[in-house]
Structure 1
């Protein structure tokens, strides 16, 4: 089993070198063998001596004949040298490198009106708008493989709860920590959008697509940056904004929804706006956003390579050292025997 696994992970980066494997056979067939001269005695009765001994004359040179084990070493050495020239590499375990597609910043309203319990959970329980938003955001995040998600929470002020990250588990945990009014009771929508735009300036990849998804249930109540001004800046910087309005647009006061501002906030930046009066519409809004922003995900698999061409060469050296040692030992033994 070990040998099979090793062979399966071996690759030759220059396999054309194996075409020279038959070269020694061609040399053996086409070129004459080297002959060594031998000593001879010249006598006038050479012909008579051959007839008496019933022998045939031979040339004054002989061809050295290697032993069978020497032939084996020569063949193995040639095979190993050619294998080394073919540049063998050992492949490691497969590695996957993921290229992320988009930076998506979620902007979530935590004003006091998000505590209104006018949404129904999938289990039929009455829940707050914030709990409904958390559930939908969790489901949305799980479908955004390849995207980096960020999270901004806002009320009287806006702050980054989670910078851009591809770790969805951490992002979802930070989302669950959000509570109503933890950033104040008001709705500073324009400041939150402005902070979202600024967060892209610190992104490590300027070519990645930039998307902001705003979820709010009220009108802007005094931001330093007007929402529409923030939308124009977003358009200039290539940031697309999708806005989702929760709650009844017929409400009055600070919790009232200005759908004209919400619609223009999205349209000015090239995004879309949605209205969600209940849990089903909220789910449908995020499904449409998911369709508008399809995943941009590319996964590259590779196997690290380790060069092993020096192993065949080392094996050749070891074989020749052993062969030289054997021949030297045999000559020593033969010399002692002759003495």
Structure 2
């Protein structure tokens, strides 16, 4: 939608006509004059002798004046209403990318996919639903690192999650260090808004900070941790002597994950399949509802520069035409004297 910030300025479009009308009443002239005041004398297209300029110059000069007045009125393009990001929770998604996440015990459309692929699919939908929250992405293996800092730019976070690869952070699982880094990133944020969702399929096997000590630090800092243990409990595995059933989640430390969640005011979830993992994140959505404030704004694009620039170009074109006319007149005079 187009609008004017100062529409009353458009009254100035009539100024040249008013000045010309006043001049006609005060001092009649034999020939019509350009409808501008004395302060416009000397501009290209304006006769110093009071005679009118060619009509095309007069028309262009008036057009330049109209464009200049339009620029002063500040034309704007007002866009469609946009929802403002509201300051909800600071939620750090913490994902295990150790080699054990390569276990293909998740089923999608009757085919096996690995655990990390399942996490990416479910987290992508989860991130889409958290509009209004400041999200971040922490990946960990032997060492934790921040893949995406806390931000409202959810599209970038989804892209960075999709690019995460198994083993990028080492071949062990440092749960304590991951919690420690998450708390460090969240401790300066407002209280009651600090949430960590930690997903792993194993036990703490590396790191300098023990999970229990990291949990104490998180609890003291007011960081709420939801823990998720992923991995099927039974899986048929072919072998030389025939198929056998194995437990691919035998290394999962559920007692530790439950203790972490309980001590920080969170909750432990078990995801044995892709549908269960989807239900886990739906449950977290209900436990951590988004409080939207309904704030909106309309983006405004200023357009006055186009009108002002067009007026300037017309003025320069008239100036050039005036110089060319003066040059031709001078050459004709010189030719007549010769």
- TM-score category, normalised to shorter length: 0.5 to 0.7
Q: Check 1:119–1:249 CA distance in 2 against 1; reply closer, same or farther (3 A cut).
A: closer
Match of 1:135 among 121, 134, 140: 121
CA displacement 1:80-135 (0-9 Å, x = unmatched): xxxxxxxxxx99946754322011101100111100001012x3321000000010
The reply to whether residue 102 of structure 1 matches residue 102 of structure 2 is no
Partner of 1:113: 100
Secondary structure of the residue that 1:215 maps to in structure 2? strand
State the 1:169 CA deviation. 0.9
Partner of 1:236: 220
Structure 1 outlier segments of 4+, above 6 Å: 249-255
The reply to whether residue 156 of structure 1 matches residue 142 of structure 2 is yes
Look at both structures and tell me which one has the larger radius of gyration over its CA atoms: 1
Conserved 8 A contact 1:120-1:127 = yes
The reply to whether residue 300 of structure 1 matches residue 295 of structure 2 is yes
Secondary structure of the residue that 1:153 maps to in structure 2? strand
Task: Provide structure 1 residue ranges, at least 5 long, that are not aligned to the other structure.
Answer: 11-89, 306-339
Q: Check 1:101–1:220 CA distance in 2 against 1; reply closer, same or farther (3 A cut).
A: same
CA displacement 1:25-46 (0-9 Å, x = unmatched): xxxxxxxxxxxxxxxxxxxxxx
Match of 2:199 among 215, 225, 230: 215
Distance in 2, Cα, partners of 1:167 & 1:109: 22
Distance in 2, Cα, partners of 1:132 & 1:262: 20
Q: Check 1:302–1:159 CA distance in 2 against 1; reply closer, same or farther (3 A cut).
A: closer
Partner of 1:21: none
Q: Check 1:120–1:248 CA distance in 2 against 1; reply closer, same or farther (3 A cut).
A: closer
Q: Check 1:113–1:278 CA distance in 2 against 1; reply closer, same or farther (3 A cut).
A: same
Task: Provide structure 2 residue ranges, at least 5 long, that are not aligned to the other structure.
Answer: 9-74, 235-245, 301-338
Partner of 2:283: 288
Secondary structure of the residue that 2:295 maps to in structure 1? strand
Conserved 8 A contact 2:231-2:248 = no
Conserved 8 A contact 2:100-2:201 = yes
C-alpha RMSD over aligned residues: 3.0
Distance in 2, Cα, partners of 1:229 & 1:179: 28
Distance in 1, Cα, partners of 2:298 & 2:197: 38
TM-score, normalisation: structure 1: 0.59
Q: Check 1:304–1:133 CA distance in 2 against 1; reply closer, same or farther (3 A cut).
A: closer
For these two proteins, the number of residue pairs brought into alignment is 220
Partner of 1:245: 229
Partner of 1:261: 256
Partner of 1:54: none
Q: Check 1:211–1:263 CA distance in 2 against 1; reply closer, same or farther (3 A cut).
A: same
Secondary structure of the residue that 1:224 maps to in structure 2? coil
Q: Check 1:227–1:98 CA distance in 2 against 1; reply closer, same or farther (3 A cut).
A: same
